[in-house]
């Protein structure tokens, strides 16, 4: 049965990259569906998806050492890196498809080839990187990775990393040339342009969703307020996607969904050091990640990145974590207190108790001054000068706290989708690897919302879905050659 004929409306709450991606997937396969997007701000993509609110790393597992953790005996698990790499491949394929189909969809404006480097110092970290490299190099997905312990070679990759560094310091690095920097804010805008071509698409700006109720005819009644005019409106919808970023858990709680019971969210704000000095930006042409600091959460792994936004080169270093009570950058200080409920206060307290090192880390980070931040930067760029760098607020991250059977409460660092039992409502929670895997995450929502036949049609557009590319090197080569050439990555 083609559900397109039966199901007429889908409403996406939140106008970030996730909702826009899901809406575009639907638009390609089921253009006759009524697609509504409700966004509380006066434009889409201004929260976490905006260019400098995130790091813009096309997460593919190339340089992020937290995706290949080592256990106590030193064994490295590469499964997460393989999974994220394949999921990012789905994003690249979909963007290349849109690039070919729509003349105004210009991937050059939001995706830039930027080498991904992992850079470490000291015997223990070098031995980890060597082992990681040996494992990854054997994988078809990672076969272009190179490793060196030679400072002269690393200097060619980025002179900032080497100049001023003690000669006797042991260092090592790996590099993949076809890494990417992605401006997810620009991507969001371009997806919106695709959607606006469809007469059945409707965007409601300045429209904050206040309440969602399931009705007896198995639909949803959505109440939203126009924040400019002050009046309330109602929409009826067959499906709902909550792409409300940091507010997703709070919204699910408000709906009293059993599926959201025991979930909580803990806000962690982010800040970058930013530099636009041309003499420095031209010396660094990569995204360089290192090991996470002791006690820090995995998403706080420090990195020094070249960003190119609106043709302007910038260096970005961080993230520095902090604590404030907002669940969204443009939220209020009542967000977090309002999300504490009888069913999640215990998991939250248990998690804080189990992760005291995280708490200490957050307190230390919150009290850092400019001088201390520059000292951190000097681990990457020994000659960094405080006057070249300024502090910028990034987006707000909400760390998921989950009550798991047998394990108890724990912090989750992934990107997760919660569904209602009838699979008519889906909500995205969590941050990393986030926007990079938006296409794979949203294809999964598509599969749950629509018929098998429709999902098969989607797979024709994104042929990597459902295939383990690492186990099919010939297919991988074929797909990568076509996609990467069209995106200018090869």
Q: Is 116 in the site for ligand FAD (CB under 6 A)?
A: no
Residue 112 binds to ligand FAD (criterion: CB under 6 A): no
Member of 433, 447, 469, 483 binding ligand FAD (CB under 6 A): 433
Q: How far is the CB of 287 from ligand FAD (least distance, A)?
A: 9
Looking at the Cβ atoms of 50 and 147, the one nearer to ligand FAD is 50
Do residues 445 and 429 make contact, with C-beta atoms less than 8 angstroms apart? no
Nearer to ligand FAD, 302 or 319 (CB): 319
Rounded Cα distance, 198 and 32, in Å = 9
User: Closest Cα to residue 110, out of 47, 58, 62, 177?
Assistant: 58
Q: Does the protein bind ligand FAD through residue 192 (CB under 6 A)?
A: no
Residue with smaller CB distance to ligand FAD, 13 or 171: 13
Choose the binding region for ligand FAD from 134-142, 365-373, 432-440, 481-489 (rule: CB under 6 A): 432-440
Q: How far is CA 61 from the centre of its chain?
A: 13
Residue 442 binds ligand FAD (CB under 6 A): no
Residue of 36, 57, 237, 409 that binds ligand FAD (CB under 6 A): 57
Under rule CB under 6 A, residue 175 binds ligand FAD: no
Stretch that binds ligand FAD, among 8-16, 164-172, 338-346, 359-367 (CB under 6 A): 8-16
Alpha-carbon distance of 361 to 240, in angstroms, equals 37
Q: Does 394 bind ligand FAD (CB under 6 A)?
A: yes
Strand partners of residue 429 = 416
* Strands (DSSP E) found in 124-263: 146-148, 171-176, 180-182, 201-204, 207-214, 220-226, 232-237, 239-242
Q: Where are the beta strands (DSSP E) in 196-324?
A: 201-204, 207-214, 220-226, 232-237, 239-242, 264-275, 287-289, 303-309, 312-322
d(CA 333, CA 345): 18
Q: Does the footprint of ligand FAD cover residue 61 (CB under 6 A)?
A: no
For the chain, the C-alpha Rg in angstroms (whole number) is 22
Q: From the centroid of its chain, how far is CA 443? A: 15
Q: What is the residue-wise DSSP string for 368-413?
A: --HHHHHHHHTTT-TT--GGG-EEEEEEEEEEEEEEETTTEEEEE-
Residues between 231 and 250 that touch ligand FAD (CB under 6 A): 243-245, 247
302 lies in the binding site for ligand FAD (CB under 6 A): no
Question: Is 136 or 268 the residue whose CB approaches ligand FAD more closely?
Answer: 268
What's the min distance (Å) between Cβ of 406 and ligand FAD? 29
Q: Are 372 and 386 in contact (CB under 8 A)?
A: no
Does residue number 426 form part of the binding site for ligand FAD (CB under 6 A)?
no
Token pair of 95 as six digits: 């963007």
CA distance 342 to 344: 6
Site string for ligand FAD, 255-294 (x = CB under 6 A): ---------------x------------------------
- Give the nearest distance from C-beta 350 to ligand FAD in angstroms: 25
Closer to ligand FAD by Cβ: residue 171 or 418 = 418
Q: Which residues bind ligand FAD (CB under 6 A)?
A: 13-19, 38-41, 46-49, 54-57, 59, 184, 208-209, 243-245, 247, 270, 319, 328, 394-395, 397, 428, 431, 433-436
């Amino acid at each position: 049965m083609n559900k397109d004929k039966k199901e007429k409306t889908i409403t996406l709450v939140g106008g970030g990259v996730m909702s826009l991606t899901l809406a575009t997937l639907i638009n390609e396969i089921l253009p006759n569906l009524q697609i509504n997007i409700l966004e509380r701000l006066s434009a889409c993509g201004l929260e976490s998806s905006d260019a400098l609110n995130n790091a813009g790393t096309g997460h593919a597992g190339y340089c992020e050492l937290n995706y290949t953790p080592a256990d106590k005996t030193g064994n490295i698990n590469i499964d997460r890196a393989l999974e994220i790499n394949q999921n990012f491949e789905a994003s690249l394929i979909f963007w290349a498809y849109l690039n070919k189909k729509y003349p105004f969809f210009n991937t050059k404006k939001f995706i830039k080839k930027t080498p991904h480097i992992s850079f470490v110092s000291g015997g223990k970290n070098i031995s980890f990187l060597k082992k990681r490299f040996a494992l990854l190099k054997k994988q078809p997905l990672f076969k272009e990775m190179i490793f060196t312990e030679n400072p002269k070679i690393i200097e060619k990759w980025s002179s900032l990393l080497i100049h001023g560094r003690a000669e006797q310091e042991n260092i090592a690095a790996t590099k993949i040339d076809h890494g990417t920097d992605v401006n997810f804010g620009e991507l969001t805008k371009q997806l919106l342009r695709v959607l606006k071509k469809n007469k059945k698409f409707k965007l409601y700006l300045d429209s904050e969703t206040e309440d969602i109720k399931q009705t007896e005819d198995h639909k949803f009644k959505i109440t939203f307020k126009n924040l400019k005019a002050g009046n309330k409106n109602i929409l009826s919808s067959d499906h709902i996607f909550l792409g409300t970023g940091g507010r997703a858990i709070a919204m699910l709680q408000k709906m009293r969904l059993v599926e959201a019971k025991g979930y909580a969210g803990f806000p962690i704000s982010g800040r970058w050091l930013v530099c636009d000095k041309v003499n420095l930006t031209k010396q660094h042409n990569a995204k360089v990640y290192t090991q996470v600091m002791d006690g820090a959460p995995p998403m706080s792994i420090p990195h020094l990145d070249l960003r190119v936004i609106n043709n302007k080169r910038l260096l970005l270093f961080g993230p520095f974590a902090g604590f404030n009570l907002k669940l969204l950058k443009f939220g209020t200080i009542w967000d977090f207190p309002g999300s504490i409920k009888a069913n999640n206060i215990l998991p939250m307290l248990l998690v804080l108790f189990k992760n005291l090192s995280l708490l200490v880390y957050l307190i230390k980070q919150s009290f850092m001054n400019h001088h201390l931040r520059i000292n951190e930067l000097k681990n990457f760029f020994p000659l960094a000068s405080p006057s070249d760098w300024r502090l910028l607020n990034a987006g707000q991250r909400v760390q998921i706290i989950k009550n798991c059977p047998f394990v108890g409460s724990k912090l989750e660092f992934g990107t997760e989708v919660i569904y209602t039992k009838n699979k008519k409502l889906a909500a995205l929670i969590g941050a990393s690897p986030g926007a990079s895997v938006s296409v794979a995450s949203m294809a999964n929502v598509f599969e749950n919302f629509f018929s098998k036949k429709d999902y098969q049609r989607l797979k024709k557009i994104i042929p990597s879905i459902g295939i383990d590319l690492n186990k099919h090197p010939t297919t991988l080569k074929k797909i990568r050659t076509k996609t990467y050439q069209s995106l200018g990555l090869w």
